[in-house]
Amino acid sequence: MNAPAEHLLAARGLAFHYGAQPVFAGVALAIRRREIVALLGSSGCGKSTLLRALAGLESPAAGQVSFLDQALASPHPRSALIFQQASLLPWLTVEANAAFGLDFRHQPAIAAATRRERVREALAAVGLAGRESAWPAELSGGQAQRVALARALAREPELLFADEPFSALDAITRAEMQNLLVEVVHRWHAAVLLVTHDIDEAILVADRILLMGGRPGTLLAEWTVDIPRPREDHPGAVTALRLDILSALRDTFVQPTADVA
Ligand SMILES: Nc1ncnc2c1ncn2[C@@H]1O[C@H](COP(=O)(O)OP(=O)(O)O)[C@@H](O)[C@H]1O
Ligand SMILES: [Mg+2]
């Protein structure tokens, strides 16, 4: 069965292993246009590997990923990625780093003026207007991650894959970046798959949370987050959801024990 048209990305029956070691199996998920989905799970449960398979960077051992109803075999031009490290090129300015990737062969060709305008707009949206000529070495970790976000936005992605993008930042910068991410993807009408091990980050950012766990990994539970934004203004609802997720997460660690009664 084909994914319904409102699905930007759909996967079914996905499995992956490194050699003989299974990482995940039987994974099915769908991401709608403009939807922010958090993929939550403890370290080592296979989140990054799943993200790479969904992004077309790894071939699954079984199953299929489709993007806009087309089978995906390599990264789609309308997707973009950000990681924990901003990975800026130190010999390029902020502006050139944000533009980096627009001229790749699989990207649609765009006129120089459009390219400049897109980069200018993306840098302004992440709060870096006026810093176009700065060098990566002059930036804080948070600013470098803003450039990485601008680089992704400049591609006008339908879907942004973000793998623990704020994990290396201090708590205050992280909170600013979480809010910024939501603001810009809403403005760009993009969907997001945010991989995180941070329950609070998932609750503050996502429209829907998928819990991954088990060996091999599978998707174990799902929550729709309908708490109005800004969610900081609804601490009661946030706490209730956090407790619910924590309890499900705890269950993912419980090993079945022999019945000794
Ligand atoms: N290149 C690799 N070769 C072999 N095993 C790997 C490789 N990358 C990750 N793994 C293993 O696969 C499992 C899932 O890793 P990963 O997807 O990075 O998890 P997560 O992102 O949830 O922390 C882990 O047990 C990890 O050690
Ligand atoms: Mg990871």
259 pLDDT exceeds 60? no
Domain boundaries, the chain: 86-156
CB 33 within 8 A of CB 158: yes
Tell the residue nearest (CA) to atom 5 of ligand 1: 18
For ligand 1, the distance from its centroid to the CA atom of residue 221, given in whole angstroms, is 21
Tell the residue nearest (CA) to atom 3 of ligand 1: 18
- ∠69-202-167 over CA atoms, to 5°? 105
User: Token match 């407790």: residue?
Assistant: 243
Atom of ligand 1 nearest to the CA of 163: 21
CB 173 within 8 A of CB 139: no
Q: 243 vs 115, 153, 204, 208, 214, CA distance in Å?
A: 45, 34, 14, 16, 20
Give the separation between CA 56 and CA 48, rounded to whole angstroms.
12
Mean pLDDT of the chain: 93
12 pLDDT exceeds 70? yes
Give the separation between CA 245 and CA 199, rounded to whole angstroms.
8
Atom of ligand 1 nearest to the CA of 19: 4
pLDDT of residue 82: 97
65 pLDDT exceeds 70? yes
Q: Which ligand ends up closest to the CA of 44? A: 1
Q: What is the dihedral of CA 217, 221, 226, 229, to 10 degrees?
A: -30
Confidence grade of residue 256 (pLDDT, cut at 50, 70, 90): low
Instruction: Please state the φ and ψ torsions of residue 79, each to the nearest 5 degrees.
Output: -120, 160
pLDDT of residue 261: 47
Confidence grade of residue 258 (pLDDT, cut at 50, 70, 90): low
SS3 66: strand
- ∠52-38-201 over CA atoms, to 5°? 120
Each residue of 140-185: pLDDT tens digit? 999 999 999 999 999 999 999 999 999 999 999 999 999 999 999 9
Q: Is the CB of 252 under 6 A from ligand 1?
A: no
User: Token match 């897109």: residue?
Assistant: 118
For ligand 2, the distance from its centroid to the CA atom of residue 47, given in whole angstroms, is 6
Atom of ligand 1 nearest to the CA of 195: 21
Residues near ion ligand 2 (Cβ under 5 Å):
48
Each residue of 13-56: pLDDT tens digit? 999 999 999 999 999 999 999 999 999 999 999 999 999 999 99
Instruction: Please state the φ and ψ torsions of residue 185, each to the nearest 5 degrees.
Output: -70, -30
pLDDT of residue 112: 85
pLDDT of residue 206: 98
Residue of 14, 16, 21 to mutate, ligand 1, most atoms within 8 A of C-beta: 21
For ligand 1, the distance from its centroid to the CA atom of residue 78, given in whole angstroms, is 26
pLDDT of residue 23: 97
226 CB burial (10 A radius; 0-12, 13-18, 19+):
exposed
For ligand 1, the distance from its centroid to the CA atom of residue 119, given in whole angstroms, is 34
